[in-house]
Amino acid sequence: MPHLHGFTKTLRYNLLMPADVEKRALHTIALYRQVVSYYLQVFQEHREIIDHNKWLNEAEKLTHQTKDNLYPEYPFDREFPKLPSGFRRSAIAEAHGKALAWKTSYEKWQERKRRHEEKNLKRVAKGRKPIEFKERPPQYPEDNNCWLSYYDTEYKWIDPNHILLKMFTGKSYTYRKVTLLQPFTVPDSYAAGSPMLVKKPTGWELHVPIVQVAKPDLRKIRELVKEPSLKICAIDLGINRHAVMTIQDTEGRVYAAKFISAAKDNHLRKRYLEKIVNLQKETRVIPEGERFAKHLWNKISNLNDDIAHRVSRQIVEFAKIHGAKIIVFEYLDSLKPSKGTRSHQLNQKFIFWVKGRIFRYTSYKALHEGIVTCRVSPKETSSCCPYCGFPTIVRYNKGKDGEGTGGVDLAKCPSCGIYDVNSDFIGSLGIGRNFRLKYCS
């Protein structure tokens, strides 16, 4: 997540870095600064792309070789072979920021010079001597004293006190563990951005930007619901499916729907958990913390975070494509895993945890697109028929199990006679109904 929008502040953490890791960190930052200088030259020679709305894509077309771009103008990949994509894009963003700041300053200088020359023309017309314009133009940035900002693909959180940062060894790029002297915590209603590695006279620090996820603006929602053409995107976060999305209007009409399956992700996570449980049985102890089967816990953590980013991105894109101005979730604060094996219970706990992260990630991504996010009561969202209002619909299952590996939860209404309707789809319609009852009635 390279860019954050909204109210942002930075958390600073002191680091404990072994001598060999520090050496590699210095080497990596020196290399990163070379890459930034390289792209500063690219932007200087192609000033037309500085103001381009797709400056990142344009800069990569000029430098990065791909199957569709075999002969870029600049041989970047030869000078910096196998550079991680996150480092390259971080360097492009850093260089673009410096180039854009220079261009803005230079245009302001040109405007001041133009006004000065206009005043001189008036002075000459009155028979007075012109005044020399002595202000020098701003110099294009050459000195590159910046620090490495790690994008998503180049770092991994192990736990609140440890993070893996990708570093250059001289021949290749590999992850190295760094210890935080204070535990990393993100306050409620905030989301973390890309960490930055900084060396101070007092030692190494990790700077983590956090952005405040805007709370629902009730006044804005009440203004939006007055629009007759308003569309909302109602999200039901389930177990067998990450999300079921429906586009609805203020009358309850459905315009589009999308299902995001969770089968593969749930199955993969459960496999990891089964391995951990089996290892615990073999050792006949239940170790505390992540030291036991650390690589498996890391895989689960990475999988959960990837799911949250992937699903939240699809939700925002779906809402944007269909012109929805409000994304609606339900409050899910009291979920408990069902009975079963230990791996089954752990899997469901992680599913519930991922739901909360999907909501947080969707909130700040929607904020960037100008879409409001809110939550409504889960009361009767899945038990009340959305078509006739019958208070008790019947739910049943057609499939193998409830782990997301083939089970299909369906619903039917004894009153109006609808049947074989996906229960998560019913839940999404119920969330839209509760939104209308709260804001549109």
Spans of all domains in the chain: 8-211, 218-439
- The domain defined by 218-439 folds into Nucleotidyltransferase; domain 5 (3.30.420)
Distance, in Å, from the CA atom of 256 to the CA atom of 234, rounded to the nearest integer, reads 11
Q: Is residue 141 within 8 Å of 42, Cβ to Cβ?
A: no
Distance of CA 440 to the CA centre of its chain: 31
**Residue 294 neighbours by CB distance under 10 Å:** 12
Closest C-alpha to 35, from 101, 81, 68, 102 = 81
Residue matched to tokens 């204070």:
182
Closest C-alpha to 77, from 35, 36, 49 = 35
Distance, in Å, from the CA atom of 367 to the CA atom of 227, rounded to the nearest integer, reads 20
Distance, in Å, from the CA atom of 338 to the CA atom of 59, rounded to the nearest integer, reads 51
**pLDDT tens for the 441 residues of the chain, in order:** 444 444 578 999 999 999 999 999 999 999 999 999 999 999 999 999 998 888 999 999 999 999 888 999 999 999 999 999 999 999 999 999 999 999 999 999 999 999 999 999 999 999 999 999 999 999 999 867 899 999 988 999 999 999 999 999 988 999 999 999 999 988 766 778 899 999 999 999 999 998 766 566 677 888 888 888 999 999 998 888 899 999 999 888 999 999 998 889 888 988 888 888 888 777 655 544 444 677 788 788 888 888 999 999 999 999 999 999 999 998 876 555 555 566 566 666 777 778 888 988 898 788 878 888 998 888 877 778 877 777 667 777 655 444 443 456 777 787 776 667 787 888 889 899 999 888 887
The per-residue pLDDT for 364 is 78
The per-residue pLDDT for 386 is 75
Buried-exposed string 98-120: b where 16+ CB fall within 10 A, e elsewhere: bbeebbeeeeeeeeeeeeeeeeb
Buried-exposed string 226-255: b where 16+ CB fall within 10 A, e elsewhere: eeeebbbbbbbbbbbbbbbbbbbbbeeeee
Q: Is residue 22 within 8 Å of 204, Cβ to Cβ?
A: yes
- The shares of helix, strand and coil residues in the chain, as percent rounded to the nearest 5, are 40, 20, 35
Distances (CA, A) of 394 to 140, 234, 384, 409, 418: 69, 22, 10, 11, 10
Between helices 19-45 and 85-125, what is the axis angle to 10°? 40
Q: Is residue 338 within 8 Å of 348, Cβ to Cβ?
A: yes
